[in-house]
Chain A
Amino acid sequence: MLISKKKTIMQPRRTARGKSLRRRLQLDWQLYVILALPLIWLIVFQYIPMYGVQIAFRDFKSTKGIMGSDWVGMRNFTKFFESYNFQKVVVNTLTISLYDLALGFPFPIILALLLNNCLRPRFKKVVQVVTYMPYFISTVVMVGIIIQFTSPKVGIINFALQTLGRDPVDFMAVPGYFRHIYVWTNIWQGTGWNAIIYLSALAAVDPGLHEAAMIDGASRFKRVVHVDLPGIIPTIIILLIMRVGQIMSVGFEKAFLMQNQLNLNTSELISTYVYKIGLASAAADFSYAAAIGLFNSVINLVLIAGVNFIATKSTETSLW
């Protein structure tokens, strides 16, 4: 027993010094075998579409294929910048996602702090379970619920308005309400779930800091502000960078499902516009739609790199 144990301790030392590289390659080719299938998938389903992005600079004809179609330079981009819809879809996209970010981002942090400071374990648990429940509702069902609740004929909100003696309102048909409905239902759905990550970050805050603050006479509120909050700042920054990187890609699904002819003025976003031009229209213009999509992706890329740069410089927290 003793001897064999010694051997296992001795052996890696010898290999690490002597034939380390050869031995490493001898075993590590297996890692490439394991990675092969995911890597092929990555190249086919992620990098080939990236290569295909060049149709944004071509005049795509399905008979000629991507590579055979003629180059047109920036024509598709200038067409978009000069189009009647450009300003509308860009403004709509930015407004709704900044609104969503400004309100939707702080809520989970607040909920996590409240839960963390709740001294009744059973109440805390019940609140946590109920608040994350809505996360499991699909976008389709969520929009279904919104339509159902706001319906002028059978919706609970209008039943309530009628009881108060007001006239029913078809909320989904008013362009001005679209953003508020979109953002506040997102908050209703996501706050509990998104609080989970902050809660686990709060659990990792050093209890010694709390004790020290208590000895110095800090009130509970002061400890939240000066101990808990600084403790989760790195988590907040990482999640903020990731959110900012998605500013231009606000959910296609929810906006598209909430759209109707009457609210289109505020509900048409870049992503829904790409779909309509590229796939839904009878005279589908793949190149034009791809150009709009690329414009969107590039802005996202610049935003995420920019915010990450600022965060790295100012707080030493970085995404990569």
Chain B
Amino acid sequence: MNFTAKSKKGRNKIKQSRGDRVFTVVNDLLLLIGFLIVLYPLIYILSSAFSAPKAVATGKVILWPVNPSLRGFEAVFEHKAIVTGFLNTIFYTVAGTAVNIVMTVMAAYPLSRKSMPGRRVLLFLFTFTMIFNGGLIPSYLLNSDLGLINTRAVMIIPLAISVYNVIICRTFFESTIPDELLEASQIDGCSHFRFLLQMVVPLSKSIIAVLILYYALGHWNSYFQAFIYITDRSKFPLQIILRDILVLNSVNDIIADPQLYAARQGMAELLKYSLIVVSSAPFMIAYPFVAKHFVKGVMIGSVKG
């Protein structure tokens, strides 16, 4: 083992010309610079979230946590609106993604079958909506006519399908499910329904994993839909609460006494950093587990031919 590794290294060194060695160094140096630029803000946020309130407000945090504490996280989970927002978002994400996956697969499978009469027209109907749509106002009037305003359903039903994802899923079906498999199953008396459920879905786990990630992330981070359509505080998703705290800075408004304000200032800043970590962490932690499927699914799904 050791020997082969060494000899490999040695061989590489001999093979590389001077220009190529410079290339390697410059290449890795550029990567390192980019890496540090992306990494530093992330580390700073994480370290701030784990520091003491005073250290955050006075700029003592530079790289690592100062006077490490979990007080920020305690504050996050003591905040009633945040907890409600979290629960609502979990509901919207789980229910919404379930609807998304069922609808997307149901749209993608028929569109992937070359034998289907009228396939080209239907495909055009779907793809056309990707480049042209009615816009905000007509959609608002429609949802209002349907009685969806200020209901939980408005977070799920109007967002049931992303046509872009249907196209990815269809391309995947087209290139991975051979026609012969369907023909063979049909001769054995298998219907399209059964073929879809028992053959196509189990064979498409990687693209479904990708779709789950896309849709779930969309729901988790969605702000616009709730901002436009939901007015009832008990139905607010997390992102609306986050906007109140992070963007509109409404934590401080409650405190009028200036001395108390100064003491609480640090706490408010700490709460923000902890909140950023808590709300963004789930997907950052989950992604590496689906990454393998992801690369495979994206490659087959989105690259033509």
**Interface on A for B, CB 8 Å cutoff?**
8, 11-12, 24-25, 27-28, 30-35, 37-39, 41-42, 44-53, 55, 66, 111, 114-115, 117-120, 123-124, 126-127, 129-134, 136-141, 143-145, 147-149, 154, 156, 159, 162, 188, 191-192, 196-197, 200-201, 203-204, 219-221, 235, 238, 245, 252-253, 257, 271, 274-275, 278-279, 286, 289-290, 293-294, 296-297, 300-301, 304-305, 320
Task: Kindly list chain B residues whose C-beta atoms are within 8 Å of the C-beta of A293.
Answer: 135-137
Q: A31-B113, A133-B284 are in contact. Are A294 and B246 (CB under 8 A)?
A: no
Evaluate contact between A136 and B24: CB separation under 8 angstroms. no
Evaluate contact between A37 and B239: CB separation under 8 angstroms. no
Evaluate contact between B141 and A42: CB separation under 8 angstroms. no
Evaluate contact between A139 and B31: CB separation under 8 angstroms. no
Evaluate contact between A41 and B279: CB separation under 8 angstroms. no
**Chain A residue with the shortest CB-CB distance to B139:** A49
**Chain A residue with the shortest CB-CB distance to B57:** A154
Evaluate contact between A290 and B122: CB separation under 8 angstroms. no
Return the 6 tightest CB-CB contacts between A and B, nearest first: A144-B246, A49-B134, A52-B138, A293-B135, A138-B221, A38-B107
User: Which one of A48, A129, A289 contacts B137 once the chains associate, using CB atoms below 8 Å?
Assistant: A289
Evaluate contact between B269 and A127: CB separation under 8 angstroms. no
Stretch at the interface among B70-78, B90-98, B179-187: B179-187
Evaluate contact between B137 and A286: CB separation under 8 angstroms. yes
Evaluate contact between A38 and B103: CB separation under 8 angstroms. yes
16 CB < 8 A contacts A-B: A12-B183, A30-B191, A49-B135, A49-B138, A51-B138, A119-B28, A133-B284, A136-B287, A137-B276, A139-B223, A140-B247, A145-B45, A154-B269, A156-B59, A253-B223, A271-B136
Task: Kindly list chain B residues whose C-beta atoms are within 8 Å of the C-beta of A138.
Answer: 220-221, 223, 239, 242, 279-280
Residue B207 at the A interface, CB < 8 A?
no
Q: A52-B138, A140-B239 are in contact. Are A37 and B106 (CB under 8 A)?
A: yes
Evaluate contact between B186 and A27: CB separation under 8 angstroms. yes
User: Which one of B27, B39, B166 contacts A118 once the chains associate, using CB atoms below 8 Å?
Assistant: B27
Evaluate contact between B42 and A130: CB separation under 8 angstroms. yes
The distance in angstroms between the C-alpha atoms of A48 and B145, with both chains bound, is 12
**B246 CB, min distance to chain A CBs, angstroms:** 3
User: Which one of B113, B247, B279 contacts A143 once the chains associate, using CB atoms below 8 Å?
Assistant: B247
> DSSP majority for the A interface?
helix
Evaluate contact between B35 and A131: CB separation under 8 angstroms. yes
Most buried by A among B221, B249, B298: B221
Evaluate contact between B38 and A131: CB separation under 8 angstroms. yes
The distance in angstroms between the C-alpha atoms of A232 and B303, with both chains bound, is 11
Task: Kindly list chain B residues whose C-beta atoms are within 8 Å of the C-beta of A53.
Answer: 134-135, 138
For chain B residues 51-99, which have a beta carbon within 8 Å of chain A?
56-57, 59
The distance in angstroms between the C-alpha atoms of A180 and B232, with both chains bound, is 36
Task: Kindly list chain A residues whose C-beta atoms are within 8 Å of the C-beta of B221.
Answer: 136, 138-140
Evaluate contact between B247 and A119: CB separation under 8 angstroms. no
Task: Kindly list chain A residues whose C-beta atoms are within 8 Å of the C-beta of B247.
Answer: 140, 143-144, 147, 257
The distance in angstroms between the C-alpha atoms of A275 and B160, with both chains bound, is 23
Q: A55-B138, A139-B223, A192-B38 are in contact. Are A50 and B111 (CB under 8 A)?
A: no
Evaluate contact between B134 and A50: CB separation under 8 angstroms. yes
The distance in angstroms between the C-alpha atoms of A114 and B288, with both chains bound, is 21
> DSSP majority for the B interface?
helix
For chain B residues 115-162, which have a beta carbon within 8 Å of chain A?
115-117, 122, 125-127, 129, 131-142, 157-158, 160-161
Encoded as 1 (CB less than 8 Å from any A CB) or 0, chain B from 269 to 305 comes to: 1001100100110011001100000110011001110
User: Which one of A34, A66, A129, A220 contacts B192 once the chains associate, using CB atoms below 8 Å?
Assistant: A34
Evaluate contact between A154 and B56: CB separation under 8 angstroms. yes
Most buried by A among B34, B104, B160, B193: B34
Task: Kindly list chain B residues whose C-beta atoms are within 8 Å of the C-beta of A197.
Answer: 298, 302
User: Which one of B35, B136, B279, B280 contacts A279 once the chains associate, using CB atoms below 8 Å?
Assistant: B136
Evaluate contact between A253 and B224: CB separation under 8 angstroms. yes
**Chain B residue with the shortest CB-CB distance to A291:** B137
Evaluate contact between B298 and A200: CB separation under 8 angstroms. yes
The distance in angstroms between the C-alpha atoms of A141 and B139, with both chains bound, is 26
The distance in angstroms between the C-alpha atoms of A132 and B217, with both chains bound, is 14
**Chain B residue with the shortest CB-CB distance to A126:** B35
**A58 CB, min distance to chain B CBs, angstroms:** 12
Evaluate contact between B122 and A320: CB separation under 8 angstroms. no
User: Which one of B138, B220, B223, B276 contacts A145 once the chains associate, using CB atoms below 8 Å?
Assistant: B276
Evaluate contact between A141 and B160: CB separation under 8 angstroms. no
Evaluate contact between B27 and A117: CB separation under 8 angstroms. yes
Evaluate contact between B125 and A42: CB separation under 8 angstroms. yes
Task: Kindly list chain B residues whose C-beta atoms are within 8 Å of the C-beta of A120.
Answer: 28
**B243 CB, min distance to chain A CBs, angstroms:** 5
**B173 CB, min distance to chain A CBs, angstroms:** 12
**Chain B residue with the shortest CB-CB distance to A8:** B187
Evaluate contact between B141 and A143: CB separation under 8 angstroms. no
The distance in angstroms between the C-alpha atoms of A300 and B135, with both chains bound, is 12
Evaluate contact between A140 and B302: CB separation under 8 angstroms. no
Q: A11-B187, A34-B110 are in contact. Are A275 and B27 (CB under 8 A)?
A: no
